[in-house]
Amino acid sequence: MPTESDTHYDPSLGNKFIFVTGGVMSGLGKGITAASTGRLLTNAGFDVTAVKIDPYLNVDAGTMNPYQHGEVYVLEDGGEVDLDLGNYERFLDIDMTSDHNITTGKTYQHVIEKERAGDYLGKTVQIIPHITDDIKRRIREAAEGTDVCIIEVGGTVGDIEGMPYLEALRQFAHEEPEENVLFTHVTLVPYSKNGEQKTKPTQHSVKEVRSIGLQPDVIVGRCEDKLDPETKEKIALFCDIPTEAVFSNPDVEDVYHVPLMVEEEGLDQYVLEHFGMADEALPEGERANEWREIVTTDKDGEVDVALVGKYDLEDAYMSIHESLKHAGFEVGVDVNVHWVSADEMADAHDGRLEDMDGIIVPGGFGMRGSEGKIEAVRYARENDIPFLGLCLGFQMAVVEYARNVLGLEDAHSAEMVEDTPHPVIDILPEQYEVQDMGGTMRLGEHTTVIEPETLAYELYDDTSCTERHRHRYEVNPEYFDDFEDEPLTFSGTAGNRMEILELDDHPFFFGTQFHPEYTSRPGQPSPPFLGLVDAVLAQRERTNDDSSNDADADADADADTETEVTH
């Protein structure tokens, strides 16, 4: 093993490690499988953390189009990362940092910087040992202070960009006692046309893994239904693992039910026994049960919320979908999210939104779809539809109000129209000289001061909140005076920065410069999202009461008419 002085690699860090790889195809649900395993170990009383390995050359996910990789999730320290880290935070109820996301760009950049600084003088810098040692160092440091660290390797086994990571894992397993490492391999088990569960893709995938020097300890089969006993036995036989080490991960109504499914098959107990931790775990009857209670809450009705965005892709707005779900858990309703194309909104917004109970305008960048988002804001404002604007949605609410209420013709964001006569949204002062696009925005957690006796204060029940940001533009201070004494007020600020807006005499009109969706959890819904769903239900109740009163009035009128005719 290389010495610590050579590699900054400390083998004493961390404790138990679960490595999760995937085969056959991407998008099988490695992240949900890993997060579900972590949830069960957390329920059993252990401290669990996670690491996501992304083999792409990008240093982080910040410059990626959502169509490429889903939403960019922002951590408390400002790290722009893969959406799987959002699942880890939600499932494990932990706050992670940039150190929990390893990318090829980040690893190679660090090793090259060390080479340029002369740290490797006289040595040839190579994949082995320098890159693999850096990967192992990052895993161990992220795991420090926890009982179990779950490491998901992105992509599919056999991808060329993932090879250094799999080699690092092989070395890792060689360096650790056998009882400290467990390899989980997630594969696809499709149905044939005659309804048979086919194991051949799994066999070939495991053969690929073994050719690299890794032997799965656990195999999780992704299938439409639970794996048949015969299927499990066949996988075990051809992949050289015990039958009891083969688990099902079938399609479920909600990803939050996956921990319940794998728990029924005993995945957590198998892992604990492998690690020799079963005796240290809480007895099954004493393990935390809040997760099951939250995600299986009975629902009494449903509400419909329009998400007016540019991307017809749920992954692009993953945290928003999940935050609405969390709010639904809290109040006992299903929240149906309807994507509405912002590109098409400008010409037909009435028809697209008239059946919606609430409207969300999410964050984003660029001119495309901005006019449609502005129209969605206007529709919500003029028709008393509960509205939530997030980041760019907050900014477009400012633009809409400036145009249609303050009369500032052609007001816009300088991001969209540089020569707008009224740049009510302008670039942050510290961004004037910024050249690089990656990692240079206002990122991560910042504190917002909340005005008392406002909707924001009612939602957060405090005079401040700390939420995560990701933006390069803000409300232009030159226009603060224009908004004074207006029904649209800024109820949350950070120094001279406007962070929260709300509209008086409206059922719910709320916007945030920050992204509250990143801190929402099952059992701890984000206050703005919970406020939106509460407002939708209150609006519906008022409408039902009005309809009932109208019906009673009509009935009384009919009775009066009948009495007059009789007499």
What letter represents residue 287's amino acid? R
Helices and strands (DSSP H and E) totals, the chain = 19, 21
364 assigned to a ligand binding site: yes
Q: Provide the terminal-to-terminal Cα distance of the chain, rounded to the nearest Å.
A: 106
201 assigned to a ligand binding site: yes
What does DSSP assign to residue 249?
E
169 assigned to a ligand binding site: no
Sign of CA dihedral 202, 205, 207, 210: negative
From CA 438, how far away is CA 59, in angstroms rounded?
8
Q: Do residues 281 and 48 touch, judged by C-beta distance below 8 A?
A: no
What does DSSP assign to residue 317?
G
Give the DSSP H or E segment for 183: strand 181-188
Q: How many CA atoms lie within 13 A of 180 on its CB side?
A: 16
Cis geometry, peptide bond prior to residue 129 (ω within 30 degrees of 0): yes
28 assigned to a ligand binding site: yes
Q: How many CA atoms lie within 13 A of 377 on its CB side?
A: 31
Contacts of 549-554 spanning 24+ positions with Cβ under 8 A:
none
From CA 482, how far away is CA 205, in angstroms rounded?
63
Q: How many CA atoms lie within 13 A of 531 on its CB side?
A: 25
> For residue 312, which phi and psi values (nearest 5 degrees)?
-85, 65
199 assigned to a ligand binding site: yes
| Catalytic residue (one of 149, 223, 391, 465) | 391
Q: Do residues 190 and 223 touch, judged by C-beta distance below 8 A?
A: yes
Give the DSSP H or E segment for 154: none
415 assigned to a ligand binding site: yes
- CA-closest candidate to residue 406, choices 371, 381, 376: 381
78 assigned to a ligand binding site: no
203 assigned to a ligand binding site: yes
231 assigned to a ligand binding site: no
What does DSSP assign to residue 406?
S
159 assigned to a ligand binding site: yes
| Catalytic residue (one of 100, 130, 446, 515) | 515
Measure CA 378 to chain center: 28
111 assigned to a ligand binding site: no
Please confirm, yes or no, whether 515 is among the known catalytic residues: yes
152 assigned to a ligand binding site: yes
492 assigned to a ligand binding site: no
Structure tokens at 390: 């997030």
439 assigned to a ligand binding site: no
120 assigned to a ligand binding site: no
What letter represents residue 101's amino acid? N
26 assigned to a ligand binding site: yes
315 assigned to a ligand binding site: no
31 assigned to a ligand binding site: yes
226 assigned to a ligand binding site: no
From CA 528, how far away is CA 460, in angstroms rounded?
8
| Catalytic residue (one of 71, 330, 371, 517) | 517
> For residue 329, which phi and psi values (nearest 5 degrees)?
-55, -45
From CA 511, how far away is CA 502, in angstroms rounded?
6
For tokens 């945030």, name the residue.
512
Q: Which residues are annotated as a binding site for Mg(2+)?
A: 84, 152
Q: Which residues are annotated as a binding site for L-glutamine?
A: 67, 364, 392-395, 415, 472
Q: Which residues are annotated as a binding site for CTP?
A: 26, 159-161, 198-203, 234
Which residues have a catalytic role annotated?
391, 515, 517
Q: Which residues are annotated as a binding site?
A: 26-32, 67, 84, 152, 159-161, 198-203, 234, 252, 364, 392-395, 415, 472
Q: Which residues are annotated as a binding site for UTP?
A: 26, 198-203, 234
Q: Which residues are annotated as a binding site for ATP?
A: 27-32, 84, 252
